Amino acid sequence: MDRTKILVVDDNPSIRKGLSVRLRANGYEVLFAEDAISATAALVTERPDLVILDLGLPAGDGFVVMERLHNHDRLAHIPVIVLTGRELAGNRDRALQAGAAAFFQKPVEDGTLLFAIRKALDVSRGELRFDE
Amino acid sequence: MTEPTRRTSELTAYLSHELRNALACIHQFGNILVDGLAGELSGEQREYVRIMLENASKIRKVLDSALAETPDQLEESTNKIGRVSKLET
């Protein structure tokens, strides 16, 4: 069985590295993108099972990536977890309204993030409803 | 929005982004070390990394509290600190 593929989109290389170590240790395959353009390209070519998305990105922000994803028939089902350094006001509600499965400010506890990933994957695979 | 409030809002956004990313790196790699994902640590090494993580958590609480204020509140708090400093000198 193929391993679950997670696309990490963040312009900070240390954040990408730290997340990859943690996610790989939990059995996930990890892909990277560092800006909105390469994130959109990776979504189309790699078809990840889930995206961990920063909001402050070069070449467009995380909201642009979410808009492109949700406007694409074959990608719209991919769950997005927003992990950002931006402030809550004006970003959390907007991200959730744009379709994010969860919103976290950095730094997030590893257990919290891993739980949200499992839950978002279960929901996208139809094994769980959002309200469970 | 007044000019000082706008500047405070921009400063808040900048501080949130820069400090949260730096804290996230300390938090991520500290926990990677403590959890043995980069090799086992000695008891002493583990204790030192835990101290680093505890202090990173304290900084995070201060940051959460400070940045939870609206730009208007933050400007008022900053002005109060300025008034207290002038009284003390």
* pLDDT tens per residue, range B4-50: 778 888 888 888 889 999 999 999 999 999 999 999 999 999 999 99
Is pLDDT at B66 greater than 90 in this prediction?
A: no
Distance of residue B84 Cα from the nearest chain A Cα, in angstroms: 28
Give how many domains chain A has, as a whole number.
1
Report CB contact under 8 Å: A14, B25.
yes
Residue A131 domain-assigned (yes or no) = no
Tokens 């994957």, residue located = A121
Most A CBs within 10 Å: which of B12, B21, B23, B29, as the mutation test of the A interface? B21
List the structure tokens of A127. Answer: 């094994």
**DSSP class of residue A75?**
T
pTM score over 0.95: no
* CATH number of domain containing A78: 3.40.50.2300
Segments of chain A assigned E as strands:
5-9, 29-33, 50-53, 80-84, 102-105
Most B CBs within 10 Å: which of A54, A86, A106, as the mutation test of the B interface? A106
Q: Which of A12, A27, A4, A16 is nearest to A78 (CA)?
A: A4
Nearest-by-CA chain A residue for B27: A107
A-to-B residue pairs, Cβ atoms closer than 8 angstroms:
59
A59: left (phi over 0), alpha (psi -120 to 50) or beta: left
Burial of B51 (0-12, 13-18, 19+ CB in 10 A): exposed
- The strands making up A50-53's β-sheet, listed across from edge to edge, are A29-33, A5-9, A50-53, A80-84, A102-105
Residues from B in contact with A at Cβ < 8 Å: 12-13, 16-21, 23-29, 31-32, 35, 37-38, 56, 60, 67-68, 70
Q: Which of B65, B30, B26, B20 is nearest to A54 (CA)?
A: B20
CA dihedral A81, A83, A88, A89 (to 10 degrees): -70
Nearest-by-CA chain A residue for B64: A87
Residue A76 domain-assigned (yes or no) = yes
Most A CBs within 10 Å: which of B28, B59, B72, as the mutation test of the A interface? B28
Give every CB contact of residue A88 below 8 A, 6+ residues apart in sequence.
A105, B68
With contacts defined as CB-CB under 8 Å, which chain A residues touch B13?
Answer: 86-87
At residue B14, the pLDDT reads 87
Is pLDDT at A77 greater than 90 in this prediction?
A: yes
At residue B83, the pLDDT reads 59
More confident residue, B78 or A74: A74
Residue A96 domain-assigned (yes or no) = yes
Burial of A102 (0-12, 13-18, 19+ CB in 10 A): buried
Percent with pLDDT over 90 in chain A: 85
Nearest-by-CA chain A residue for B56: A107
Residue A79, preceding peptide bond in cis (omega within 30° of 0) = no
With contacts defined as CB-CB under 8 Å, which chain A residues touch B68?
Answer: 88
Q: Report, as an integer, the average pLDDT of A20-31.
A: 98
**Which residue segment(s) compose the domain that A41 sits in?**
5-124
Report CB contact under 8 Å: A107, B32.
no
Give every CB contact of residue A16 below 8 A, 6+ residues apart in sequence.
A8, A10, A32, A34
More confident residue, A6 or B79: A6
Is pLDDT at A101 greater than 80 in this prediction?
A: yes
Report CB contact under 8 Å: B21, A86.
no
